[in-house]
Structure 1
């Protein structure tokens, strides 16, 4: 029996998760309607703007994203320590940016006299809100529900906009994280929508590339577009918050990967070897395969075999999903 999605979120094992949401009526919802010729590309910007807004509210950062014509990918980093440090006032302020406050909480903020039972109710609410404000399901819900309402209002219709719930993958180690990020960032290139990553509209790789072009010598942690988790360099003691590799190496890796001509993909970047591949000890053939098929080849938990087995023990799985693929591709 499949595990519920919430059971696949193991924050004590990894803060990184790849999520995908697909439209129910295909390309014309976010792209161009082949029947009428009407363009709905502006809706892709809706999704980008909504994701960026939510990073200011949630204790969740965006590592990478790509908004395609009928679906979007986003890789999230959950910062539980940040959420734990919020004061009660900050929790309320953040929640109020998305939802209206109950009358009882408004009275609490106004410092009106409330009973002990009411005080306990407020405390329970704040505990619940704090948990939701670093919860992936609530983050995705707060993207998808407003976008669906906005699109249906524009179309003057009702009904589903998204194809069921989002799909998620837990990225258990650095190899899985890097491969998944490259998979997401190269989506438009492989689909033939752009020649290079920096020309890919509605993607994090374009934002990072443009900023890097302007300030190539700046510190890694300061060289991040708004709403995106910065690159902090190689793992080390007292490492600042950020992705565990250098931005320059990652951009070279994506460029190298995108130049590979693949028979079953339309697009590629029109070759030098990246130091990241050597450091991660990933076979180039395996790397290219993962960055083509990451979403379809792996289900649920993704990482090296030891990390995968440890996560499955905690989840009390009878079997270890993806083990054959992991042993072959990630070791």
Structure 2
């Protein structure tokens, strides 16, 4: 069965949750220790995390979970056209210009001004196109992958591809699939034997949430969503030496807003609010993420306990008994508790080649939505769901 088209998996006009995987070219350790040269490029993982954080502040895309590995990265993304629809024309324009400022004669002139914003606002056809792109997962990934590739190539003084190609996408169609996939993503470093616990797995959403629960705060990478007054920009360019402007821009990129946030402040909250109507977009107003909507009917404390228990079950056939409360949590979303360890640790066996993640009945319904009878891997996945 051929891989479905992207338009069948997600659309910028509809809210959807997608698990995406982006691999380095030839699966080389371009963000880890290069086996050929012995050079350590692990610092590039922070490049990727900060770029992801910055994009979360301007795109109508929620980052639910992520893991940056040495030769690939995982993300669970939820596009939010309902949030984007709430933004004013000026907000849409400045968000777009922060990520795609357009062609400039010099890098130090790339700061969008009030004049640039109004010019885009007056172009209604272009503005409608931009609004659509801001809730498009493909454009989010493009804005993430391309700058990282350029930075790495500049550092290595080379040209060519950094990423293998377009990202792989899996549509997540129910909460059972979302819980399992989120756990799989968070435990990627443990499964790869790079660490033994979530607490020692940096550059994952689990690590960020754990450190945030301890009170850790970090300099925000969020874009500054205020345009520069046109007159001020012109005066600064005329009166300030180019070298000074370039240094000023570099300093601002390190912390554009000058704020410090909780380490997980840019991620989507984990727990869905029971009191919030499903139709409410819950637009975020502090400039670090698109919305305040959670994604699981589970408290962080229970998720953390399940995460720790799953991380400890590294040896197949020597699985400890799952605590009753956690088993009940799994059964409530339709997951067979006795198969939970296998589902997360052997994820590739059940969902490695599928384009859809969820319970069999949900996968079948999604296949019918796009005119197919079933999704690949649907029968094999049935063993893990009650």
TM-score by length of 2: 0.73
1:230 counterpart = 2:282: no
Give, in whole Å, the separation in 1 of the partners of 2:118 and 2:344.
Answer: 53
Instruction: For residues 249-296 of structure 1, give each alpha carbon's deviation from its aligned partner in whole angstroms, at most 9, with x where no partner exists.
Output: 1111111111113349xxx99x64525224324223322222123355
Q: Secondary structure at the match of 1:28?
A: coil
1:170 counterpart = 2:223: no
What is the deviation of 1:243?
A: 2.1
1:294 counterpart = 2:359: no
Question: Superposed, which structure 2 residues align to 1:114-125 within 5 Å?
Answer: 122-125=123-126
Instruction: For residues 57-94 of structure 1, give each alpha carbon's deviation from its aligned partner in whole angstroms, at most 9, with x where no partner exists.
Output: 10111111111110011111222211111111111010
Question: Superposed, which structure 2 residues align to 1:206-217 within 5 Å?
Answer: 206-214=207-215
Aligned residue among 294, 300, 324 for 1:242: 294
Give, in whole Å, the separation in 2 of the partners of 1:107 and 1:187.
Answer: 46
1:142 counterpart = 2:143: yes
1:320 counterpart = 2:321: no
What number of residue pairs does the alignment pair up?
A: 313
What is the deviation of 1:212?
A: 2.0
Give, in whole Å, the separation in 2 of the partners of 1:90 and 1:316.
Answer: 38
Kept in 1, the 8 Å contact 2:270–2:294? The answer is yes
2:329 alignment counterpart: 276
Give, in whole Å, the separation in 2 of the partners of 1:278 and 1:320.
Answer: 23
Q: What CA RMSD, in Å, does the superposition of the two structures yield over aligned residues?
A: 3.0
Kept in 2, the 8 Å contact 1:179–1:290? The answer is yes
Question: Superposed, which structure 2 residues align to 1:153-168 within 5 Å?
Answer: 153-168=154-169
Give, in whole Å, the separation in 2 of the partners of 1:102 and 1:37.
Answer: 38
1:85 alignment counterpart: 86
1:218 alignment counterpart: none
C-alpha spacing 1:160/1:261, structure 2 compared with 1 (3 Å)? same
Gaps of 5+ in 2: 105-112, 217-260, 283-292
Aligned residue among 305, 327, 335 for 1:252: 305
Give, in whole Å, the separation in 2 of the partners of 1:25 and 1:142.
Answer: 22
Give, in whole Å, the separation in 2 of the partners of 1:233 and 1:4.
Answer: 30
Give, in whole Å, the separation in 2 of the partners of 1:234 and 1:290.
Answer: 27
2:362 alignment counterpart: 307
What is the deviation of 1:25?
A: 4.0
TM-score by length of 1: 0.84
What is the deviation of 1:224?
A: 7.4
Instruction: For residues 32-67 of structure 1, give each alpha carbon's deviation from its aligned partner in whole angstroms, at most 9, with x where no partner exists.
Output: 122322110111111000100000010111111111
Give, in whole Å, the separation in 2 of the partners of 1:102 and 1:39.
Answer: 34
Kept in 2, the 8 Å contact 1:13–1:311? The answer is no
What is the deviation of 1:234?
A: 6.6
Kept in 2, the 8 Å contact 1:14–1:170? The answer is no
Give, in whole Å, the separation in 2 of the partners of 1:96 and 1:79.
Answer: 19
Give, in whole Å, the separation in 2 of the partners of 1:42 and 1:8.
Answer: 33
Gaps of 5+ in 1: 113-117, 216-221
What is the deviation of 1:131?
A: 0.8
Q: Secondary structure at the match of 1:29?
A: coil
1:33 alignment counterpart: 34
1:127 alignment counterpart: 128
Q: Secondary structure at the match of 1:176?
A: helix
C-alpha spacing 1:135/1:297, structure 2 compared with 1 (3 Å)? same
